[in-house]
């Protein structure tokens, strides 16, 4: 783990081509990309190729709050990898592979704008690990 990133993996019981398509095509994105808890995704635009743009709409449960999630696809390698940077500067990427007849997705999200490579290398996950030890020792 590097600075301010979260990695989530999930095995989906579906062919890789279909899973990959779900990440790029507007008609699929509106079906699952919503924020949950009553939020909806009324529309999505997605030019699913390297350099293409995307815009995904979010609408709040009360119908008042709404915003667009926009950004650029930095890399689209069919069936393998999608890397994008949101317009707020946060990069994220998803990797797709076959595993036991299913599709493994490894998704990495960076939570804050990336300022330098150096920052990414020096994660503070070690600090958190040490913190855990520190708290454990305190609780003894």
Partner 1 sequence: MDRLSETFQALADPTRRAILARLTLGETSVNELAEPFAMSLPAVSKHLKVLERAGLISRSRDAQYRPCKLEAQTLESVDEWLGEYRRFWEARFDRLDTYLKKLQRKPARRGKAK
What residues line the site for partner 1 (CB under 8 A)? 3-4, 6, 8, 10, 12-14, 18-19, 22, 28, 31-36, 105, 107, 109, 111-112, 115, 118-119, 122, 124, 126-128, 130-131, 133-135
Give the shortest CB-119-to-partner 1 separation in angstroms: 6
Give the closest residue to 22 by CA, choosing from 88, 120, 101, 103: 103
Q: Which is nearer to partner 1, 22 or 59 (CB)?
A: 22
Q: Which is nearer to partner 1, 23 or 51 (CB)?
A: 23
Q: Which is nearer to partner 1, 6 or 66 (CB)?
A: 6
Give the shortest CB-15-to-partner 1 separation in angstroms: 9
Burial of 123 (0-12, 13-18, 19+ CB in 10 A): middle
């Amino acid at each position: 783990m590097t600075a301010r990133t979260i990695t989530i993996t999930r095995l989906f019981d579906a062919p890789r081509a279909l899973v990959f398509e779900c990440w790029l095509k507007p008609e699929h994105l509106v079906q699952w990309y919503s924020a949950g808890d009553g939020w909806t995704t009324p529309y999505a635009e997605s030019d699913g190729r390297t350099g293409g743009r995307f815009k995904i709409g979010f609408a709040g449960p009360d119908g008042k709050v709404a915003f667009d999630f926009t950004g650029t696809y930095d890399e689209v390698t069919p069936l393998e990898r999608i890397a994008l940077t949101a317009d707020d500067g946060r990069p994220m990427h998803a990797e797709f592979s076959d595993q036991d007849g299913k599709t493994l997705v490894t998704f990495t999200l960076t939570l804050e704008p990336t300022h330098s490579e150096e920052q990414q290398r020096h994660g503070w996950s070690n600090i958190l690990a040490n913190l855990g030890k520190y708290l454990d020792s305190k609780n003894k």
